[in-house]
Amino acid sequence: MHLNLTNRVTLTFVCLLTCANTFLFAQNTKTNTLKFSADSATVELLRNKSLKVQSTRPDSALIYAQRGLDLSRKIGYKEGEGNCLNRLGVVFWKNGRYDRALLFLLNSLRLREEINDRLGVLKSLNDIGIIYSDQGDNVKALTYHFKAKAVAEALHDRRRISIVLSNIGNCYLKLNKIDSALHYELQAYGIQHLLNDKSTMPNTLSILGDINYKMGNAPMSLEYYRLSIRYAIENDDQIAIVDTYNSIAQLYIKNSQPDSSRYYASVALKTAQKASYAEGIYTASDLLTQYYRGKDEHQELAYYKIAMAAKDSMFNAEKVKEIQTLSFNEAERQQEKAEQQAKEAQRRIINLQLIGIALFIPFFFLVLLILSKSRVHRKVIEFMSVLSLLFSFEFITLLVHPFVQLISDHLPVIELLILVILAGILVPLHHSTTHWLRAKLAHISEHPAKPPEPDTVKTKKIRSR
């Protein structure tokens, strides 16, 4: 009685302890989940802050993005890490630090591919394409933009499709392929107009202005530029404002209207310096250098120094070398990735074939069994029985062969020795099985099942009296 009571108390204590542990585990899991959700939300908040201030406070944009990256890595938030890496890349790109920008964007692409973040991959591909375009390598830029286009179409993301199409058009414009540039740019504008997406229109309209100018239609070009400026001001898109003002300044200087060119270049320079937009600073200061050449040596020298400083920040020898190294490493990674995908595709084909063979052999045995009960000639049945066993044993050899290669490490002597031992086991087994199956099937074919006797109707003879 005392023992039973003790057991009951012990059992009750164990149950209570288990329940308590389960409750505490559930509470900890819930707490950790809530904490992760809060931290991941903080990461997205920091990323959005970086996006909002990149045009006006680029230093703050970098700080916000770096904080988001650090927090993402701390909590293991891979998607947030990819987003913040991409954000850092974009900010460095705007500031003309193409080497740093490409480094962050390639790391972002690699991470997003690992976690299968397709939208993220699309963004990284598009931004990398822009980097190469700004570096003057528009052929390589197009390879990335067309990859981004394929992903955008697979995701049915029309807004992203329009952005990529606009960038493709810009690359063709820089390659002086005007017809192709106009084709893609009009596609982009058509989608943006249909979606009423005013945030993406400034860049597309500005490029359409550039295209029309190259086609010799300056009035239409100015109309596109003015529309671009209007939408860019509405969206506070400082980069688009700078690019379009610089385009207008170039148009006026080529149309022999230097004073108008100086005005727009001056506005572009001030806006670009405020946004730390290195490319915009270089283009505007170079236009102003041309304007003051032969008119004011002091102003010419001042703007020339500004232009050279901006150019050096973007294209000095060390940064060009770093970009070339990054490009080479990425090309190797993409090649290795393509080879791995090809191997996986080949492995899938082999596995499908093995599954097909594995399904065919039992089916073949079943057909053989059915034929053995029919009036098929004995020689045919014997031949099919031998064939079915050959299929079975050769299939076993086929399955074992990769393991033999793995064990032997592709050394011919060891591989031959293992195969000889395997043959020593399988060959006698094959012969004995062949004799048994041949005799069994032949016996079945010689003694087909007798058909049931038909019902007989007993009749009585009626004797005639």
Write the single-letter amino acid at 72.
Answer: S
> Whole domain around residue 369: which residue ranges?
361-445
Q: 412-443 pLDDT, tens per residue?
A: 777 777 767 766 676 666 666 666 666 665 55
Please give the Cα distance from 270 to 91 (Å, whole number). Answer: 19
- Predicted confidence (pLDDT) at residue 1 exceeds the cutoff of 50: no
Number of structural domains the chain divides into:
1
Q: Residue 456 — pLDDT band, cuts 50, 70, 90? A: very low
Mean pLDDT of 1-22: 57
Q: What is the mean pLDDT of the chain?
A: 81
Mean pLDDT of 36-52: 86
What pLDDT score does 225 carry? 95
In a domain, 225, yes or no: no
- Predicted confidence (pLDDT) at residue 181 exceeds the cutoff of 90: yes
Report, in this order, helix, strand and coil percent for the chain, each rounded to 5: 85, 0, 15
In a domain, 387, yes or no: yes
In a domain, 403, yes or no: yes
In a domain, 371, yes or no: yes
347 is written with which tokens?
């492995």
Q: 233-245 pLDDT, tens per residue?
A: 998 888 999 999 9
Q: 189-221 pLDDT, tens per residue?
A: 999 999 999 999 999 999 999 999 999 999 999
More confident residue, 322 or 267: 267
Q: 396-414 pLDDT, tens per residue?
A: 777 777 777 777 776 777 7
In a domain, 408, yes or no: yes
- Predicted confidence (pLDDT) at residue 7 exceeds the cutoff of 60: no
More confident residue, 8 or 308: 308
More confident residue, 335 or 461: 335
Please give the Cα distance from 271 to 293 (Å, whole number). Answer: 23
What pLDDT score does 436 carry? 66
What pLDDT score does 201 carry? 93
What pLDDT score does 397 carry? 73
What pLDDT score does 287 carry? 94
- Predicted confidence (pLDDT) at residue 30 exceeds the cutoff of 90: no
- Predicted confidence (pLDDT) at residue 127 exceeds the cutoff of 60: yes
Q: Which residue has the tokens 């379009």?
A: 244
What pLDDT score does 177 carry? 95
In a domain, 414, yes or no: yes
Dihedral, CA of residue 40, residue 46, residue 48 and residue 54, to nearest 10? -150
Q: 256-287 pLDDT, tens per residue?
A: 899 999 999 999 999 999 888 888 999 999 99
What pLDDT score does 463 carry? 45
More confident residue, 282 or 456: 282
Q: Residue 314 — pLDDT band, cuts 50, 70, 90? A: confident
Mean pLDDT of 96-113: 90
Write the single-letter amino acid at 451.
Answer: P
What pLDDT score does 3 carry? 45
pLDDT > 70 fraction of the chain, expressed in percent and rounded: 74
In a domain, 431, yes or no: yes
In a domain, 117, yes or no: no
Q: 68-82 pLDDT, tens per residue?
A: 999 999 999 999 999
